[in-house]
Amino acid sequence: MKELREERFFREFCDTADNMYRLGWDERNGGNISMLLTREEEGCFGAPIRTIPIPFDASALAGRCFLVTGTGKYFKNVKKYPEENLGAFRIAKDGKNAELLWGYSDGGKFTSELPAHLMSHIARLSVDSAQRVVIHCHPTHTLAMNYVHELDEKKISHTLWQMSTECIVVFPEGVGVLPWMLCGTNEIGIATAEKMKKFRLVIWGMHGIYGAGDTLDEAFGLIETVEKAAQIYMLTAHLPRINTIKDEELARLAEAFGVNYRKEFLDL
């Protein structure tokens, strides 16, 4: 068996955390990543070391394994010290416990946002069985935009689509938006998962964003595209707007690229 650090999925996981830190999306212990492992990837980890209670019923994922960032851990350190900062665990049959297979080596446990992550996985898998990755972070411009733009799904999606030609092609379903809510709770998990049935991107008002995808690259790329659009918005919102991509042009784009966009988010 190859050394874990040589496995591509594992390297990509560490590199994703490292890139997110470098981009300023994950200050201190901000942000978390969870990835549903394939049966082959599961085989890279050993027998259960200890059991960690899960604060909700995760029985819909019983028997499945996840690689997840640890609570209180800094993204800055993931690549250098993965065994302390990450954990791989299997969801026990009863759905109430995580059987730790590897990691959290200083006695730690999974992110406090596990409810939002696992509930989002359940929601995404119910619409697309290939969806394996959920990422949460605090991207600077997306967060800044939350303070000066209405937190309305249609309005925020529409503004983001206008900020760069690629946007409607990358996230044609738009962006789901939740109001400010207490994080780390089952309630925010339930609300996030409800949005995840319709969107791969969910903004947590004045907190950050969730992105889901088949791969780490896809989930990361969705957030990266929103963050770039939000940056352009923040660079231009206080200036007179002279040019704009018109709604009929956004529709033409979506049609040319064959993406099924959320038509009610345009005013045609």
Active site residues: 113
Binding partner of 111, given Zn ion, ligand 2HA, none, CB within 5-8 angstroms per partner class: ligand 2HA
Site membership for ligand 2HA, residue 29 (CB under 6 A)? yes
- Tell the smallest beta-carbon distance from residue 10 to ligand 2HA (Å): 21
Residues 150-209 that bind ligand 2HA (CB under 6 A): 183
Task: Please state, in angstroms and rounded to a whole number, the distance separating the CA atoms of residues 137 and 33.
Answer: 9
The answer to whether residue 85 forms part of the interface with ligand 2HA (CB under 6 A) is no
113 binds ligand 2HA (CB under 6 A): yes
Region binding ligand 2HA by CB under 6 A among candidate stretches 46-54, 82-90, 110-118, 247-255: 110-118
Q: Does residue 108 touch Zn ion according to CB under 5 A? A: no
Q: Which is nearer to ligand 2HA, 111 or 162 (CB)?
A: 111
Which runs of consecutive H residues, i.e. helices, occur in the chain?
A: 8-22, 39-42, 75-78, 82-85, 114-127, 140-148, 153-162, 167-170, 186-196, 216-236, 247-256
Residue with Cβ nearer Zn ion (125 or 137): 137
Q: What are the residues facing 35 on neighbouring strands?
A: 67, 133
Q: Strand order in 32-36's β-sheet?
A: 50-53, 97-103, 86-91, 65-69, 32-36, 133-137, 208-213, 201-204, 176-178
Looking at the DSSP bridge assignments, the partners of residue 53 are 97
Residues with Cβ within 8 Å of 39's Cβ and at least 6 positions away in sequence, in order, are none
**Rounded to 5 degrees, what are φ and ψ at 108?**
-75, -170
CB of 28 to ligand 2HA, least distance (A): 8
* Site membership for Zn ion, residue 208 (CB under 5 A): yes
Binding site for ligand 2HA (CB under 6 A): 29-32, 111-113, 136, 183
